[in-house]
């Protein structure tokens, strides 16, 4: 079944708190090309303070290019960008923290010395930078390794040190490009917890990832990109409600009677997946019970984001958009 997208101009890009002072980032109609190939095609969104905003999409969708524009490392060809009120993000770099997709540390430097150096580059005193570094290392579970050489740490630990480096100067906006790549479950949980704490501190966090399930549980709102275009925008709940397929997964003992408004999409032993085409899943459940079916499990809800996004991408390709 096809899925109807928002047109780009129809995205609800307003912050969840409708106060101008709460806006940390505003992006309107941004386009960017490299060597004649358009990578971003009129992207628009806003990010509030105290919000985790996800940029989702497959490899090559334009996520990293958008992050670099927000960080002031690239300039858009057209459209507008405002970060903390400035149309030139590099001018407010002291308010930004950036974790690039490419990883790299000074392998011979000791962890706390590396972070202290980054803090001093941002104008912090030596004492303040070291105190902040030790605080972040404790929050990330790395305090016992503060005096170790970076080259002796695992890749996951090095990545968390880089995240601490992006935060050492206490920025108001965090731009994180694939922060979970290469992390084991324990380190992933620590980074997730830290991102939640940043939200609580009123920071704006932009999270670029292709891990849709991770963003679904972590982000307040998301923008899904495909071939440089925004194809879905809103909170995970809004997207599921708007584009869900009305599935009901019903586990029964024995055969399933025919019911009005639904069809059996799949059978696996005593389990059937019914797609509700008219009415509601509750109506289907009522019909099954009245028909004498022994219902063992009933799970009603819309498709997860990853399935919705896959359908959007397939529709785009079918329409010649990729």
Using 50, 70 and 90 to split pLDDT, how confident is the model at 6? very low
Query: Which pLDDT score, from 0 to 100, does residue 65 have?
Result: 96
pLDDT tens-digit readout, 226-273: 999 998 899 988 887 777 665 666 777 777 788 888 777 666 666 676
From the centroid of its chain, how far is CA 141? 23
Mean of pLDDT values over 102-121: 91
> Cα(205)–Cα(51) distance, rounded to whole angstroms?
6
> Cα(61)–Cα(227) distance, rounded to whole angstroms?
5
Residue spans per domain, the chain: 8-241, 246-301
Q: What percent of the chain has pLDDT over 90?
A: 55
> Cα(92)–Cα(240) distance, rounded to whole angstroms?
36
> Cα(250)–Cα(289) distance, rounded to whole angstroms?
11
- Which CATH fold topology does 8-241 show? Rossmann fold (3.40.50)
Mean of pLDDT values over 114-136: 95
Query: Which pLDDT score, from 0 to 100, does residue 176 have?
Result: 96
pLDDT at 29 over 90: yes
């Amino acid at each position: 079944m096809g899925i109807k997208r928002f047109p780009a101009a129809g995205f609800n890009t307003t912050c969840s708190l409708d106060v101008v002072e709460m806006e940390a980032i505003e992006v309107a109609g941004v386009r960017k090309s490299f060597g004649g190939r358009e990578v971003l095609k009129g992207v628009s969104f806003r990010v509030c303070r105290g919000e985790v905003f996800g940029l989702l999409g497959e490899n090559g969708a334009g996520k990293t290019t958008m992050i670099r524009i927000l960080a002031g490392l690239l300039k858009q060809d057209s459209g507008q960008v405002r970060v903390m009120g400035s149309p030139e993000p590099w001018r407010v770099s002291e308010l930004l923290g950036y974790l690039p997709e490419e990883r790299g540390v000074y392998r011979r430097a000791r962890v706390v010395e590396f972070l202290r150096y980054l803090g001093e580059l941002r104008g912090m005193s030596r004492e303040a930078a070291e105190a902040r570094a030790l605080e972040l290392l404790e929050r990330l579970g790395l305090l016992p390794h503060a005096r170790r050489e970076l080259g002796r740490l695992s890749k996951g630990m090095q990545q968390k040190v880089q995240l601490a480096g992006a935060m050492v100067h206490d920025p108001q906006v965090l731009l994180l490009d694939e922060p979970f790549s290469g992390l084991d479950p324990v380190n992933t949980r620590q980074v997730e917890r830290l991102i939640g704490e940043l939200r609580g501190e009123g920071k704006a966090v932009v999270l670029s990832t292709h891990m849709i399930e991770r963003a679904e549980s972590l982000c307040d709102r998301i923008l899904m990109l495909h071939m440089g275009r925004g194809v879905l925008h809103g909170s995970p709940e809004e997207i599921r409600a708007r584009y869900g397929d009305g599935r009901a997964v019903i586990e029964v003992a024995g055969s399933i009677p025919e019911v009005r408004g639904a069809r059996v999409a799949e059978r696996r032993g005593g389990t059937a997946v019914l797609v509700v085409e008219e009415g509601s899943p509750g109506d289907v459940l009522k019909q099954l019970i009245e028909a004498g079916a022994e219902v063992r499990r009933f799970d009603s809800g819309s498709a997860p984001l990853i399935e919705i996004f896959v359908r959007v991408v397939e529709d785009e390709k079918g329409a010649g958009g990729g």
